[in-house]
Structure 1
Amino acid sequence: MSNQSLADSIRNIPPVTRFFTITTVIVCFANSLKIIQPHQLICYLPLFIDTFNDTSRTISNSNIAGSIGAIVGLLAQSYRFFTCFLLPQGLLTDQPFHAILDIYFFYTFANHLESHTGKFRRNFPDCLWFTLVTGTIVVLLSLVYNAIIDINHFPVHHQMILSCVTYIWSRSLKNSLINFLGLVPIKAYYLPLFNLFFKLLISGYSSFLDSAIGIFSGYLYQCFQSDTLPIYNLFPGSYAKYLTSNRDTNGRRVGQLNNNFASMDQSVTTAGIDFIEDSIFDKGYLKAPIWLYKLLNYPTNNSKRTTAFYPRPDTTSNISAGTHVNINENTSTDNSGSGTSTGFSWFGQGNDPFKGKGYRLGD
Structure 2
Amino acid sequence: MAYQTFQQEYLQIPVVTRTYTTACVLTTAAVQLELITPFQLYFNPDLILKHYQVWRLVTNFLFFGPVGFNFLFNMIFLYRYCRMLEEGSFRGRTADFVFMFLFGGLLMTIFGMFVSLVFLGQAFTIMLVYVWSRRNPNVRMNFFGLLNFQAPFLPWVLMGFSLLLGNSIIVDLLGIAVGHVYFFLEDVFPNQPGGGRWLRTPSFLKMLFDTPEEDPNYNPLPEERPGGFAWGEGQRLGG
Same fold (TM over 0.5): yes
Q: Secondary structure at the match of 2:82?
A: helix
Larger radius of gyration: 1
Q: CA deviation at 1:286?
A: 5.3
Q: CA deviation at 1:4?
A: 6.9
Per residue, is there more helix in 1 or in 2? 2
Deviations 1:27-74 (A, max 9, x none): 1111111111011011034xx26x76xx5xxxxxxxxxxxxxxxxxx2
Q: CA deviation at 1:219?
A: 1.0
Match of 1:328 among 227, 233, 236: 227
The structure whose RCO (Cα within 8 Å, separation 6+) is larger is 2
Evaluate the alpha carbon distance shift between residue 37 and residue 191 of structure 1 in structure 2; reply closer, same or farther with a 3 A threshold. Answer: same
Q: CA deviation at 1:128?
A: 0.8
Evaluate the alpha carbon distance shift between residue 112 and residue 285 of structure 1 in structure 2; reply closer, same or farther with a 3 A threshold. Answer: farther
Q: CA deviation at 1:224?
A: 2.6
Q: CA RMSD in A?
A: 3.4
- Tell me which residue corresponds to 1:82: 58
Q: Secondary structure at the match of 1:177?
A: strand
Matched, 1:9 2:9: yes
Query: Unmatched 5+ residue regions in structure 2?
Result: none
8 A Cα contact 1:108 1:328, kept in partner: yes
Evaluate the alpha carbon distance shift between residue 316 and residue 189 of structure 1 in structure 2; reply closer, same or farther with a 3 A threshold. Answer: farther
One-letter identity of the residue aligned with 1:290: S
Q: CA deviation at 1:199?
A: 1.5
One-letter identity of the residue aligned with 2:136: L
Count of residues paired in the alignment: 227
- Tell me which residue corresponds to 1:289: 202
Q: CA deviation at 1:155?
A: 3.8
Q: CA deviation at 1:142?
A: 0.7
One-letter identity of the residue aligned with 2:113: L
Q: CA deviation at 1:135?
A: 0.9
Matched, 1:298 2:210: yes
Q: CA deviation at 1:195?
A: 1.3
- Matches of 1:221 and 1:83 in 2, distance apart? 22
Q: Secondary structure at the match of 2:55?
A: helix
How do 1:1-363 residues align onto structure 2 when only pairs under 5 Å count? 5-45=5-45, 48=46, 74-75=51-52, 77-88=53-64, 91=65, 94=66, 96-115=68-87, 118-146=88-116, 154-204=117-167, 206=168, 208-226=169-187, 228=189, 239=192, 242=193, 288-294=201-207, 296=208, 298-299=210-211, 328-329=227-228
Q: CA deviation at 1:200?
A: 1.9
- Matches of 2:219 and 2:21 in 1, distance apart? 28
- Matches of 1:167 and 1:145 in 2, distance apart? 20
8 A Cα contact 1:135 1:161, kept in partner: yes
Evaluate the alpha carbon distance shift between residue 297 and residue 43 of structure 1 in structure 2; reply closer, same or farther with a 3 A threshold. Answer: closer
Query: Unmatched 5+ residue regions in structure 1?
Result: 56-73, 147-153, 234-238, 243-279, 303-313, 331-345, 348-363
One-letter identity of the residue aligned with 1:106: L
- Matches of 1:329 and 1:134 in 2, distance apart? 27
Q: CA deviation at 1:228?
A: 2.9
Identity %, equivalent residues: 25
TM-score by length of 1: 0.55
8 A Cα contact 2:186 2:199, kept in partner: yes
8 A Cα contact 2:133 2:154, kept in partner: yes
Evaluate the alpha carbon distance shift between residue 324 and residue 126 of structure 1 in structure 2; reply closer, same or farther with a 3 A threshold. Answer: closer
